[in-house]
Amino acid sequence: MARNLDLDALLHGCAEQSFDAGIRIDVELEPLAGAGGPVKPATYAGGTYQLDRRWATPDTAEPTDVIVIDNVPSQANRLEEALRRHRAAIAIPELVLDLSDLAHLPAHLPRQLSSLQFPHRNGDAYLRDATLNGKDFINTELGKSIFAATAENCGALVAWFPQALLYGFWQSHLGKKRANTKHARAWVSEIIGWQPASTETRTFGVKGDPLNLSIEETVSVNVDDQMKWDIGTGSKASDSKNTKRKKEKLSNIGHGQVPFTDKDAALAPVSFSRITQRATLSFAQLRRLSLGQEADADTAMRALLVALGLRAHQLAFGRGFFLRSGAALRPRRTVLTWLGADADEECEPGNANNTQALLESVRSYAESAGVPLHGWGQSPTILLPKDNLKKAVSSTWPELAD
């Protein structure tokens, strides 16, 4: 019979004297097109996939060619996004950088940035360059506590940035002579495609044009605003002497039929013999965390992070999910293993209700044990951009004339 994950199990595994190693989640995934259906892996600079060779099992004669469909940092971002989208139910803390005063921003840019979206979590430049109630955030009591937090004194992060303790952070934007605190991720997850049928196939095609306009026609265009262009190389596309103008082919501003050549054709989706996801949570890494209080509070704090990680995984990957165009997957079989000191035990992976109930149970216990949870269950704390950040945003995205 599979072991149940409950409050007592998490407290036992996270205790300072525990020799349990952690949790592993293995998932067999399938494309919506069915087994062997092509899937689009992540593409990196230079138009390449992340190729690797892995041992499928300890008994395999040779390592197997694989492609990393979604790597560790990307998976962490997806887990954080799941927490953000379900923040109301989870009651996780959130700071929000409000950019709504920059009314001219293009429609595709966010008007708010959540602390669950900051690229560097609690060490992010957007947090450094924010204000709270008219004061530089980093100089407020809350800001000082967050920026000064370490693994050995992590109370402020438990209270306001618990995701940073799961997925790691590096305080690298304060300067060489200021805090450069690092904390490695405890939760590691990636999605792998095994035995790719091909790694060189490209997607060819033609960008069509119902009027088949001449792609060789020369235009004069405002490079910042392609609404401003004209046939020929004159200056009609310029509204002022300061407008950036250049000569382009008509095809470069979206007209005409353009075939994709070998040079610009993207790598195609790939067919795999199987696709797997593996996530691990290290209790050893969590045991490096301390509140500087009683041991019971430390244990409860670590258990809360475990429950939060399990909840995030269920929300992000517990049902069919979408990574990118051409990469929609669904879980077909999930095995959750408790990596014990003496033996490994298969556990019930839990569904949406189970993981939510576990999180609520552990959070209640953590609160009673004195774990600082000031930001939990509260409305988002609203921050505003400093003047230098507003100038940087406006420089990148200037207000354009109609």
d(CA 255, CA 252): 7
Q: Is the pLDDT of residue 253 over 70?
A: yes
Buried b (16+ CB within 10 A) or exposed e, 296-321: bbbbbbbbbbbbbbbbbbbbbbbeeb
Q: Are strands 95-98 and 381-385 parallel, antiparallel or unpaired?
A: parallel
| Domain coordinates in residue numbering, the chain | 7-197+272-396, 211-266
Q: Is the pLDDT of residue 55 over 60?
A: yes
H-only helix segments in 137-229:
141-148, 155-160, 162-167
Amino acid of residue 373: L
Q: Are strands 182-183 and 381-385 parallel, antiparallel or unpaired?
A: unpaired
The mean pLDDT of 358-364, rounded to a whole number, is: 98
pLDDT band of residue 348 (cuts 50, 70, 90) is confident
| 349 or 155: which leads in pLDDT | 155
Percent of the chain with pLDDT over 90: 73
Q: Is the pLDDT of residue 243 over 70?
A: no
The mean pLDDT of 32-52, rounded to a whole number, is: 95
280-309 pLDDT, tens digit each: 999 999 999 999 999 999 999 999 999 999
Question: Could you tell me the pTM of the whole model?
Answer: 0.92
177-215 pLDDT, tens digit each: 888 888 999 999 999 999 999 998 888 888 888 988 888
The mean pLDDT of 274-279, rounded to a whole number, is: 99
Handedness of CA 299, 302, 304, 307 (dihedral sign): negative
The pLDDT, as a whole number, for residue 196 is 97
Q: Which residues have C-beta within 8 Å of that of residue 339, sequence separation ≥ 6?
A: 20, 21, 22, 23, 24
The mean pLDDT of 70-88, rounded to a whole number, is: 98
